[in-house]
Each structure stands twice: as C-alpha cells, then as structure tokens.
Amino acid sequence: MMKHTETNADALEDDLDYQIDASSNESDNDSQSQSSSHEIEANQPSSDASEVKKNKRKRQRQKLKEKKKQKFGTSGKEATSLAHSPDILSDIINNQIRINFKDLSAVELQDRFIKSSYIEDTIDFPNERETGNYPEYVTHAFKKNNQENEFNKVDSNGSPTTLIFCLSALRALDIVKALRKLQTEEFKITKLFGKHIKLDEHIEYCKNNKIGIAVGTPQRILQLTNGNLNFDHLKFVILDYTFTDKKSYNLISNNDCKKPVMEFLTHPSLLKRLSDKTTKICFY
C-alpha cells in the first residue's frame, strides 16, 4: 500500500552516528579550518545564529512528520505508482494464489485464478488515491460500469453493493469516515473488523441492516461470508492496495492479510459472480 541531496552529513535524517577516521594531515587542516570558522562565527551577527536555530527546528519538525508517516502508513502520491493495468494486477494476485495454496494441483489452481477481465480498469481515475477521495472513486467505478442507478440501491439486509478490504481496523475507520457522506438510512456505511467488536455483534448487525458499503479487515469479512454477509447484490470488491503499513507492506503482501484475501477472492460464490461479470474487483 497509493520518494534531496545535501552534502552536509548533519542534515541526514537516518538516525545513524557518523564517525570519521581522519589522518594527521587532515586533523591539522581541520584544526585550522575550525579556528577560522570560530573567528567567522564570532563576527557573525546574532540574526544569523537565530536563522541557524530556526532551520534546525524546521528540520526536526520535518523529521517528526516523516516518523509519523512511517508509523501509521501512507497513501496518496507515493502510492499512486502502485496503480496498474488489469493484466499486471491479475498476475500479482495469481502469484499470491500460487504461494498461498501450494497444496493444490496445477489444474485446481487454474480454476481459482483471477482473470484480468474480472478486474475493473480504474487507472484513469483522475484524483490521487488518498483516503479523502474514496467517495469519488466508488462512484467512478459504478459510472464506468454504467451502473450509477444501482449505486445506492440495497434490496435486502446483509447484502452490500461494495466491499472494501483494508490492512487494519484503524485504516478501516479512516475509510469509513471518508465515506460517511454517502450514507443514508437505507444505505449504511459499515465497519467490519475484530478489534473490540465481537463476531456475534456483526452477525446480528448484518441481519438487521441494509448495508451499502462494508469496510473491514480480511479476517472478519471472511468470517461473515458463511451466510451472514451474502454476495447477492455485490457489485464491487475494492482492495485498498496502495495503502502501505510502516514496513511498506500492502494488503496482499502483509502476512496477516494476504491469505484471507486470497481465500475470499477464490470463494466459489464470488468466482461465479466474477465469471458472470456481475461483480468486479477494483484496486485503490
């Protein structure tokens, strides 16, 4: 899961301590240069010293921002490079199917492969793949399929039109928050993840609510596909692919997520809908 060059070693933000092993001649030169620099600094006005401190604080703030990005994951401009054509995405998914189902024969694997025709080509989506652009992306996918009239129609409980798979509960909350403006009484935006929410609670919720878009983790969504969350009206499965965690893993390379994602994508009921072109896979 949608990268400045300075010769000054002190400006490198890699948390490494640099040690220089200098020769005696270099040490003499350093002593002379240090002496000269002290003389220059002594003659510098206080405003220059203030500017140096200001720049130092600015670098420290930038460093903190970068650490926060690494901690919570990233999406957007840097991640947009992960947006590929259906042919490439099909190869990526099928490679993961081979890895996660090693016990299957070549023939059995072939039956589970995701064809490029199963994947909606959204490479022409004009906006950056940032969290805030999710509502536009979902409506864009429906328009491409000439199904804008089907977008917010939910005929039965527990039967969403769109399922969004993401890396974590926190990521799901961010996406749900962005999608809230699409919610109506008959078109719920639902979060589905195991953190602090029991499976029985989700089962009960699915039975009693018309879900338009469900956003959740692969593990919890997979647990709900045994009759509680059905595919009868499912138009799109969206993989939150360009978002990456602090270790630069995305949804289908993260160890906790990749197998349940592959199990869902190769579910017989979903494969039937993909083959019939009633459901499409999208990569955000």
In 183-245, where do the E strands start and end? 188-192, 211-216, 236-239
pLDDT of residue 143: 86
Contacts of 136 (CB under 8 A, 6+ apart): 125, 127
Where are any strands of DSSP class E within 167-252? 188-192, 211-216, 236-239
| Residue 228 confidence (pLDDT) | 85
- pTM across the whole model: 0.71
User: Comparing C-alpha atoms, which of 142, 141, 155, 149 is closest to residue 230?
Assistant: 155
Domain chopping of the chain, boundaries: 24-72, 79-283
pLDDT value of position 111: 92
Look at residue 22 in the predicted model and tell me its pLDDT. Answer: 40
Question: Would you state the pLDDT for residue 194?
Answer: 85
Return the closest-CA partner of residue 237 out of 211, 260, 264, 210: 264
Q: How far apart are CA 269 and CA 161, in angstroms?
A: 15
Classify residue 216 as exposed, middle or buried by CB count within 10 Å of its CB (0-12, 13-18, 19+): buried
- What is the distance between the alpha carbons of residues 13 and 4, in angstroms, rounded to a whole number? 11
Residues with pLDDT less than 70, the chain:
1-47, 62-83, 148-149
Cα separation of 231 and 3, whole Å?
39
Q: What is the CATH number of domain 79-283?
A: 3.40.50
- What was the pLDDT predicted at 165? 97
In 151-193 the beta strands, taken as DSSP E runs, fall at 162-165, 188-192
